[in-house]
Amino acid sequence: MKALTLLQPWAQLVAVGAKHYETRSWSRDYTGPLAIHAAAAIPGPAKTFARTALVRASLRGLASEDLPLGQVVAVCSMLRCVPTSSLIAAFLPGDESSFGDFTRGRYAFILVSVRQLSQPIPARGRLSFWEWEPPSFLPPEDEAALRSVGVSR
């Protein structure tokens, strides 16, 4: 299945259902199942953002030093990719406008049916979209999560 690597805390914000739009400077013509992978390191500015009250509240108190790194944390379905100019930031749900760069000229991947995995799965991330093979044995709730986004095994 396709996977996308995000820095923390943004990967975890997707996993807990607080973030449904992943913004990028590039477009991608893809729809379907998508694994959300947390990058292996957290750069300084991301650490600072992870410590803000908004992010801590959205992560339900999970501390920045406890965020999973180098692991797949959730699965979802990518509905489509749209120019950010087609979105009105004032009408984005919840704190979504604070969790991405919605400036003109960028794109938003719309993520739906997000299911956090019961335990993050170690994986080596890559740039852009990449192929991830889920382990052959997963807990029943994670198998159900894969099925819910259209992955049959």
Per-residue pLDDT of 100-128, as tens digits, reads 999 999 999 999 999 999 999 999 999 99
pLDDT for 89 beyond 70: no
Domain coordinates in residue numbering, the chain: 2-148
State how far the Cα of 104 lies from the Cα of 106, in Å rounded to an integer: 6
Q: What is the pLDDT of residue 90?
A: 62
Query: By C-alpha distance, which of 138, 15, 136 is closest to 72?
Result: 15
Q: What is the pLDDT of residue 93?
A: 80
Per-residue pLDDT of 10-63, as tens digits, reads 999 999 999 999 999 999 999 999 999 999 999 999 999 999 999 999 998 788
pLDDT confidence band for 92 (50 / 70 / 90): confident
**Strand duo 71-83 + 107-122: pairing:** antiparallel
CA dihedral (151, 145, 41, 70) positive or negative: negative
Per-residue pLDDT of 134-148, as tens digits, reads 999 999 999 999 999
Q: Which CATH architecture has domain 2-148?
A: Roll (2.30)
pLDDT confidence band for 64 (50 / 70 / 90): confident
